[in-house]
């Protein structure tokens, strides 16, 4: 894409709305809310003028609410992708640029799924055998009401199409990114913040699918559309769950650092409180995405981390015969200290981490499970040993005598 296209990254609906006052005078977030208010007031006025039932007004308001909720979720895409930094991998960078180029194509292909939903829906709706119009508007509805409902249906169908469009592209992007990640060399990688942002967008789309269930009261009188809504929800949800899972399996560390972190056995934890620094060696595990170490509830570093969660986490590999073969990586960032409240919320993650410790350090975990060690060192589940997760914000890597700063 050219620079102008990168900066624009808008869909046809946004472009049209951005040219119509007063919506054009507001940021997109506020213009969405103004559209909600405008459609809601217009719908209520038309309903009162043509004496619609209260339930019909409620159905119309629900349809508007769904469209706005979808808009707020879709709104995250453009700003998030605009802030993307280029991956330190030519192939991965080209893939993500291609993904953005297709997603926000100048020919606005994103409207095609919406049209493909809208046209058959309208043909079916105005077919003599369909009872939905009567269910919504009663007998012989006025032409203005029909026009307003058609506009609202287009709004909903367009956003349903966007959900399908973004979900299919997200799954394709995640599949390709995982394949490319397996072919990385040396320091090639996509930064952690970018991978986390992509995963967040996929999770947003999962909610996009679930929100569609709010449409069920509007179409419950037609079994065919009930089935279609459930099919849409299932497709959107499953597609994005798979995409988010694939993204979670893409390493955010380049191969050189990934292998160093995976293969090393010890690290040094640096903490600081009121100008007093503290450094201790720890054993740790790495699950391919996150680093964990555990510490005693009596340990000084834990007491410091509870007051200042900033941390330095150093892993090094030394060759005493040749200093130019030495490697080290320093992660600076913050920690998450796991507590009792995390047990029900992150039990699976905690059990996986425990299994990694047992597999990597069988002798260590066996000794720590005995009562032969000091109380502060005993591996008493939940009570005496505390699990800590490292959340890096910056990475510095040394290879030989050369220092390299690696984007997170």
Asked if pLDDT for residue 116 goes beyond 50, the answer is yes
Choice between 310 and 2, residue whose per-residue pLDDT is larger: 310
Tokens of 269: 């934890």
Separation between Cα atoms, residue 272 and residue 308, nearest integer Å = 7
Classify burial at 9, counting beta carbons within 10 Å of its beta carbon; exposed 0-12, middle 13-18, buried 19 or more. Answer: middle
Percent of the chain with pLDDT over 70: 84
pLDDT tens digit sequence for 36-56:
778 778 878 887 887 778 887
On the question of pLDDT at 286 being above 80, the answer is yes
- Residue 222 is predicted with a pLDDT of 83
Q: What is the pLDDT of residue 1?
A: 43
pLDDT at 307 over 90: yes
H-helix or E-strand containing 270?
strand 266-273
The answer to whether the peptide bond before residue 22 is cis (omega within 30 degrees of 0) is yes
Is the pLDDT confidence value at 403 over 80?
Answer: no
Chain segment 3-41, per-residue pLDDT in tens: 444 445 666 666 666 666 666 676 766 776 777 778 778
Q: What is the pLDDT of residues 80-101, one digit of tens each?
A: 777 777 677 888 889 988 998 8
Delimiting residues of CATH 2.30.110.10 domain(s) in the chain: 255-406
pLDDT greater at residue 115 or residue 51: 115
Mean pLDDT value of segment 63-73: 83
Q: Which of 102-111, 208-217, 231-240, 296-305 has the highest mean pLDDT?
A: 231-240
More confident residue, 268 or 125: 268
- The Cα 137–Cα 150 span in angstroms is 12
Pick the CATH number of 255-406 from 3.50.50.60, 1.10.645.10, 2.30.110.10, 3.30.420.130: 2.30.110.10
CA 55 to chain centre: 36
CA dist., res. 251 & res. 179, Å (int): 11
Could you give the CA distance from residue 279 to residue 336 in angstroms, rounded to a whole number? Answer: 18
SS3 of 189, please? coil
Please state the rounded mean pLDDT for residues 310-321: 86
What pLDDT score was predicted for residue 165? Answer: 92
């Amino acid at each position: 894409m050219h620079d102008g296209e990168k900066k624009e990254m808008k869909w046809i609906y946004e472009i049209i709305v951005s040219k119509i006052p007063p919506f054009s005078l507001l940021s997109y977030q506020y213009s969405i809310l103004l559209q909600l208010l405008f459609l809601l007031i217009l719908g209520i006025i038309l309903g009162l003028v043509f004496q619609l039932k209260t339930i019909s007004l409620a159905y119309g308001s629900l349809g508007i609410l769904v469209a706005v909720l979808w808009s707020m979720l879709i709104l995250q895409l453009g700003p998030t992708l605009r802030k993307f930094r280029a991956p330190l991998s030519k192939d991965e960078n080209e893939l993500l640029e291609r993904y953005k180029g297709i997603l926000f194509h100048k020919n606005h292909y994103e409207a095609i799924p919406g049209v493909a939903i809208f046209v058959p829906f309208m043909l079916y709706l105005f077919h003599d055998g369909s009872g939905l119009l009567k269910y919504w508007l009663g007998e012989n509805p006025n032409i203005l009401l029909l026009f307003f409902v058609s506009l609202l249906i287009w709004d909903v169908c367009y956003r349903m199409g966007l959900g399908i469009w973004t979900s299919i592209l997200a799954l394709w992007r995640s599949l390709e990114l995982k394949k490319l990640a397996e072919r990385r060399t040396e320091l090639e990688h996509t930064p952690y913040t970018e991978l986390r942002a992509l995963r967040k967008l996929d999770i947003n789309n999962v909610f996009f699918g679930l929100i569609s269930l709010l449409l069920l009261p509007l179409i419950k009188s037609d079994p065919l559309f009930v089935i279609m809504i459930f099919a849409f929800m299932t497709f959107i949800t499953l597609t994005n769950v798979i995409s988010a899972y694939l993204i979670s399996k893409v390493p955010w560390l380049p191969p050189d650092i990934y292998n160093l972190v995976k293969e090393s056995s010890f690290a040094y934890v640096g903490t600081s409180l009121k100008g007093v620094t503290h450094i201790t060696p720890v054993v740790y595990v790495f699950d391919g995405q996150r680093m964990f170490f555990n510490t005693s509830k009596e340990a000084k570093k834990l007491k410091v981390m509870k007051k200042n969660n900033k941390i330095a986490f150093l892993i090094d590999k030394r060759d005493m015969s040749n200093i130019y073969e030495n490697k080290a990586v320093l992660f600076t960032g913050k920690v998450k200290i796991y507590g009792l409240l995390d047990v029900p919320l992150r039990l699976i993650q905690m059990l996986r981490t425990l299994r990694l410790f047992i597999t990597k350090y069988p002798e260590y975990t066996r000794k720590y499970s005995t009562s032969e060690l000091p109380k502060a060192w005993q591996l008493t589940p939940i009570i005496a040993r505390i699990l800590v997760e490292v959340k890096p914000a910056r990475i510095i890597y040394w290879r030989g005598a050369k220092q390299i700063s690696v984007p997170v």
